[in-house]
Amino acid sequence: MKKLFLLLFAAIATMNFAQNLTVTSGNLDFLKDQTEINVKFIDGEPLFQAENYTEAQYLERRKTETLAKKGEVAWEKWISAWKQHSESIFSDKFVEGLNKSKKIKFSKNVDTKYTLMVEPQWMYAGWSGFITQPGKLSADMSFVETANPSHVLAEIKGDKIEGTGSKVDYGMEYGRISAAYEKTGKELEKEIRKVKK
């Protein structure tokens, strides 16, 4: 009975956790006649976890925990996978989520009229086990003219988007965060689909 109660509580907490994607300024009408959009990621200085750690603080805590529990080899493996995810897999999963639409192709490093700028603001690693808590991502996004990036056509805010429905390894933090990137891309694609009908 206790396990059933915990499962029910976790399900309700997950459903009630605020998450949304909102166009905060401008609109997406300019995308109606576009077939391809460049995507550029801004490293910025995202915060981590409920405590709002810097990335350096988050990694230092993760290193201390891993060394204490599993040793140096496990840490080297983990940090190598983290670097790979933060350098390319997070952004690749975001683009993959966007490309669920067949009406506009989104790609990194292409020459197009418009560019989608993506800057992560906050990440939550979640956890796995008997009950899995998804990773979450908050990010600021904007569409700009590629030739004149100061001309912003639309600004979008993703707030605590949960990484669910992805084919990733939810067993590790970087997998759960990459799922949140993909889900954020999917949520933005839903907004774009409204103007591409």
Task: Write out pLDDT tens, residues 171-196.
Answer: 899 999 999 999 999 999 999 998 87
Residue at 12 is within a domain: no
Average of pLDDT values for 97-117?
94
Residue 13 in domain: no
Residues 165, 92: Cα–Cα separation, whole Å: 16
Residue 138 lies in a domain: yes
pLDDT computed for residue 131 by the predictor: 86
Would you tell me the crossing angle of helices 55-69 and 72-84 to the nearest 10 degrees?
A: 150
64/143 Cα distance (integer angstroms): 40
Q: Given this model, what pLDDT does residue 7 score?
A: 44
Predicted confidence (pLDDT) at residue 28 exceeds the cutoff of 90: yes
- Listed in order, strand segments (DSSP E) in 10-169 are 20-26, 36-41, 47-48, 105-108, 114-124, 136-145, 148-162
Work out the average pLDDT over 160-177.
Answer: 89
pLDDT at 17 over 70: no
Contact 33, 196 (CB under 8 A): no
Read off the pTM.
0.88
Alpha-helical segments (H) within the chain: 2-16, 55-69, 72-84, 90-98, 173-195
Lowest model confidence (mean pLDDT) among 52-56, 73-77, 143-147, 161-165: 161-165
The answer to the question of residue 14 being in a domain is no
Distance separating the N- and C-terminal Cα atoms of the chain: 48
Higher pLDDT, 12 or 103: 103
pLDDT of residue 165: 81
Task: Summarize the confidence of residues 35-60 as an average pLDDT.
Answer: 96
Which residues make beta-bridge pairs with 161? Answer: 137
Does the residue 60 lie in any domain?
Answer: yes
On the question of pLDDT at 147 being above 50, the answer is yes
Q: How far is CA 162 from CA 7, 19, 20, 73, in A?
A: 18, 7, 9, 31
The total of other beta-carbon atoms located within 10 Å of residue 167's CB is: 8
**CATH code, domain carrying 191:** 3.40.50
Q: What is the pLDDT of residue 19?
A: 61
User: Does residue 107 form part of some domain?
Assistant: yes
Average pLDDT in the chain: 90
pLDDT above 80 for 1: no
The pLDDT value recorded for residue 14 is 41
Rounded mean pLDDT, 119-127: 96
- What is the rounded average pLDDT of the residues 60-69? 96
Domain limits at 155? Answer: 19-195
Cα 124 to Cα 158: distance, rounded to the nearest angstrom? 13
> Is the predicted pLDDT of residue 129 greater than 90, yes or no?
no
* Overall domain count for the chain: 1
- Within-domain flag for 3: no
| Interatomic CA distance for residues 169 and 156, integer angstroms | 28
| 1 assigned to some structural domain | no
